[in-house]
């Protein structure tokens, strides 16, 4: 009996040792330049897969979307495998800087403040921040949000606006919305909209295109006509990684010229 136990323990030790060795051999991302990505053999993209139609999970659980199609085209240009890492939005913004991803792609709005810690590609998509309310709400625009409870997805521009961050919401007489009474943060936009339908918040501030999808899925909700803030999406990489930024920018121009971007736009936006 002792021999059997010892044999089992030895096998367990061998398995653990093998796994540890694999971990040691996998050096992770050490060179995030285009040449380094090719040597690594994988393009690792960080995203938050709850932002349709830019990134979301299909019926089979596969992460798809506008950003992801572009990511695949970039990986193909480099001749490497695409690896998509799904994480909370706050972590997406941190991933390139801590070598957990080469590129962050998640409907990320460019700002000078974010540019202090990340490097950004050229703008890839114009969007805006909108307000979702119930059909019978008395909120018609951003200046009706004063004193209301507003739901947001944590880490997004919607949160920064609701919290009256001066870099986004403006200051003094130049603010773009009335200060909410309180802000409720949720992991995903869908959770924020669900909270709205349940009466837990009075409104949700979120990006325009995901908002359109959410309103389709949650009966009794609508988007206010007046936008809160107009912004532009871009792809983010590790601060100082000029080689990768320049390569992405050139690849995006080529994709625009050869019709790849038109095809992706047509697929998701008609």
Please tell me the predicted confidence (pLDDT) of residue 270: 85
Bridge partners for 238 per DSSP = 118
pLDDT digits (tens, 9 = 90+) for 54-63: 999 999 999 9
pLDDT digits (tens, 9 = 90+) for 96-120: 999 999 999 999 999 888 999 999 9
The answer to whether the CB of 125 falls within 8 A of the CB of 264 is no
Rg (CA), the chain: 22
Q: Is the pLDDT of residue 23 over 50?
A: no
Please tell me the predicted confidence (pLDDT) of residue 28: 82
How high does pLDDT run on average in the chain?
A: 91
pLDDT digits (tens, 9 = 90+) for 136-150: 999 999 999 999 999
Please tell me the predicted confidence (pLDDT) of residue 19: 38
pTM to 2 decimals? Answer: 0.80
Question: What strands, in cross-sheet order, belong to the sheet with 103-104?
Answer: 81-86, 42-47, 103-104, 236-238, 118-120
The C-alpha atoms of residue 79 and residue 169 are separated, in whole angstroms, by 42
Q: Within 10 A of 240 (CB to CB), how many other CB atoms are there?
A: 12
Q: Are strands 229-233 and 125-134 parallel, antiparallel or unpaired?
A: antiparallel
User: pLDDT band at residue 27, thresholds of 50, 70 and 90?
Assistant: low
pLDDT exceeding 90 applies to what percent of the chain? 87
Domains of the chain: 31-124+234-269 (3.40.190.10), 127-231 (3.40.190.10)
Q: For 65, list phi and psi in degrees, rounded to 5.
A: 135, 175
Nearest to 107 by CA among 54, 149, 151: 54
Task: State the alpha helices, DSSP H only, in the chain.
Answer: 2-25, 34-40, 66-78, 89-94, 157-162, 166-169, 189-197, 208-217, 242-257, 260-269
Among 6-20, 83-97, 247-261, name the one with the lowest average pLDDT. Answer: 6-20
Over residues 75-85, the mean pLDDT reads: 98
The C-alpha atoms of residue 211 and residue 222 are separated, in whole angstroms, by 9
Over residues 125-154, the mean pLDDT reads: 97
């Amino acid at each position: 009996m002792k021999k059997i136990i010892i044999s089992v323990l030895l096998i367990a030790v061998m398995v653990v040792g093998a796994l540890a060795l694999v971990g040691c051999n996998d050096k992770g991302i050490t060179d995030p330049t285009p040449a380094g990505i090719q040597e690594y053999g994988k393009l690792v993209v960080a995203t938050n897969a709850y932002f349709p139609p830019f990134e979301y999970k299909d019926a089979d659980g596969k992460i798809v979307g506008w950003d992801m199609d572009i990511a695949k085209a970039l990986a193909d240009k480099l001749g490497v495998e695409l690896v998509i890492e799904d994480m909370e939005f706050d972590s997406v913004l941190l991933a390139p800087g801590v070598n957990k991803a080469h590129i962050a792609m998640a409907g990320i709005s460019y700002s000078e403040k974010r540019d202090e810690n990340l490097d950004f590609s050229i703008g890839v998509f114009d969007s805006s921040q909108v307000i979702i309310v119930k059909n019978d709400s008395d909120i018609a625009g951003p200046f009706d949000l004063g004193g209301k409870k507003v739901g947001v997805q944590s880490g997004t521009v919607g949160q920064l606006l609701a919290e009256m961050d001066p870099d986004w919401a403006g200051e003094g007489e130049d603010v773009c919305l009335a200060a909410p009474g309180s802000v409720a943060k949720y992991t995903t936009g869908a959770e924020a909209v669900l909270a709205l339908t349940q009466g837990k918040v009075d409104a949700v501030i979120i990006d325009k295109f995901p908002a359109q999808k959410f309103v389709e899925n949650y009966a009794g909700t609508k988007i206010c006509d007046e936008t809160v803030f107009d912004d532009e999406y871009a792809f983010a990489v590790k601060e100082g990684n000029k080689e990768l930024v320049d390569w992405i920018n050139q690849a995006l121009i080529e994709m625009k010229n050869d019709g790849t971007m038109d095809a992706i736009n047509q697929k998701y936006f008609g």
